[in-house]
Structure 1
Amino acid sequence: MSPDALVADRVHREIKQRILAGKYASGTSLTVQSLADIFGTSISPVRDALNRLVGERLVEIQPAGGFMLPEITSARAYNLYSLHADLVRMVVKVMAGIDTLEPPPSYLSDQTADGPAVAAATSQFFALLAGFSPNREHLGAIVQTGERLALLRLHEGSIAKHGGELAGLWNVTRSGNRNATRIAMWHYHRRRLLRVEGISIATTRGLIEPKDSRNRRF
């Protein structure tokens, strides 16, 4: 791998990490030069990294040129949760050997996990689940959709005891009871679809600084 490709790969990882951690607000403009200054590199690796993130659907190209994070709306959130539910339903239908799934992290059950910890555990759980599908495409689809849900998952606090909810879902799944898992997954996604407006509003408000950060450029 060439030095430029190595730099682009590093910049891609770091920008993606910031996006998934909620460091940028929805709709934030991502300015190539500003990011190059932040990461101490030329603009070429940054542009390459951003184009790669466009392919992953974590970044969008602005109509007038440049890059930005997608706007979070209740309609977009609803569609993403629905897509995730559809993918999970397909995985549950064909999963095999699920009784070997590792147990959930203990911090989920004792309610000590904060929003970021629960969000990270949620991503881990669904990626592990997809790994039990004989269709290897399911894993990539679940992971990519989960990454696009990352900001929303950070703000699912309106769903009471969602850490305990995830632990319960995890344990039902590893029991190997396919029908019970299907029903539990349905309830999990339904709770989010019913609260999608509140979650999307909380996500936007949670990301905005005292001055509207959607107008900030990075």
Structure 2
Amino acid sequence: MRRSGRRPDVLAEFCLETTVCDEYIALASLGGRALTGRSRRRVRSSPMAERREPFRQALVDLRRRLREGDLAPGTRITAKEIAEALRLSPTPVREALSRLAGEGVLEERRGDGFFVPELSAADIAALYRLSEQLLLMSQGATRSSHRDLRLSELMTDDDPIRCVERLFLAWAVESGSRVTIEAYRTVAVRLAPVRRREVDLIDDLAQEAEGLLRLADPARHRARPTAIQAFHRRRAALVERLADLVRPTRASGI
């Protein structure tokens, strides 16, 4: 991992958005180059995209909060407070919350609102298994040179957890499969609060990330499946302790 000035987190952003697959196509057509502000505007320049902008803004913000661990399991989320923070009307925020509930990222409790689902040890184990399977599937997909993203330009964060998340998102995107990309995106968001607690149990996250980032080189892709399996099986042995760390200790909400 190398330190540098902040750059747009392109992979994470477009994997969070509603238009993930359209932007994947745009990214691939650019030969794997990071989408610039100008090229991103071209992707969503249609009138329909403009009408959906408040919904997209709310959706991206909520996914980002979940991914960064700002919304812990058990947290109650209110549309009014999110809308005020984003300076939006509550309607697109409620639509975004409903969308995330439909994806299984949030839980809607009739008459009580939306909550970040609590995760048992069995839930965490299942999510890690799904993550492993989806990443292995992405490595088994037919590869073409224009999909080899320039990961060295994107892995600029010194946080090992974020670096690995971006790397895995990139590998899911390289599959070229809409189903794989969207499924992995959902799993990654649900695992985010758990991954934020790995630092309490794993001492060598930085070294682990360095080893994985070396596999970003397309010439080393044959070593990826073994590394993916080792990464997930290491965490499978920790699910009980991780479940204890993410278990809510008191009611919370925003």
Give the Å deviation of 1:140: 2.5
TM-score normalised by the chain length of structure 2 = 0.68
Cα separation, 2, equivalents of 1:197 and 1:144? 22
2:237 maps to 1:201: no
Aligned equivalent of 1:110: none
2:130 maps to 1:83: yes
Query: Which of the residues 137, 147, 172 maps onto 2:189?
Result: 147
Cα separation, 2, equivalents of 1:39 and 1:53? 17
The answer to whether the 8 Å contact 2:109/2:115 transfers is yes
How many residue pairs match? The answer is 203
2:44 maps to 1:44: no
Partner SS, residue 131 of structure 1: helix
Cα separation, 1, equivalents of 2:165 and 2:93? 26
- For residues 60-117 of structure 1, give each alpha carbon's deviation from its aligned partner in whole angstroms, at most 9, with x where no partner exists: 111444211111221111110001111112222235258955348476xxxxx4xxx2
Compared with structure 1, are the counterparts of its residues 12 and 137 closer, same or farther at alpha carbon in structure 2 (3 Å cutoff)? closer
Give the Å deviation of 1:169: 2.2
The answer to whether the 8 Å contact 2:63/2:189 transfers is no
- Identical amino acids, percent of aligned pairs: 26
Compared with structure 1, are the counterparts of its residues 36 and 100 closer, same or farther at alpha carbon in structure 2 (3 Å cutoff)? closer
The one-letter code matched in structure 2 to 1:128 is A
The one-letter code matched in structure 2 to 1:36 is A
Cα separation, 2, equivalents of 1:35 and 1:199? 28
Unaligned runs of 5+ in 2: 1-47
Further displaced range: 83-92 or 26-35: 26-35
Aligned equivalent of 2:76: 29
2:228 maps to 1:185: yes
Cα separation, 2, equivalents of 1:14 and 1:134? 25
Query: Which of the residues 52, 62, 85 maps onto 2:109?
Result: 62
Equivalent positions of 1:130-169 (< 5 A) are 130-157=172-199, 158-169=201-212
RMSD (Å) for aligned C-alpha atoms: 2.9
Aligned equivalent of 1:12: 59
Cα separation, 1, equivalents of 2:107 and 2:251? 16
The one-letter code matched in structure 1 to 2:242 is I
TM-score normalised by the chain length of structure 1 = 0.78
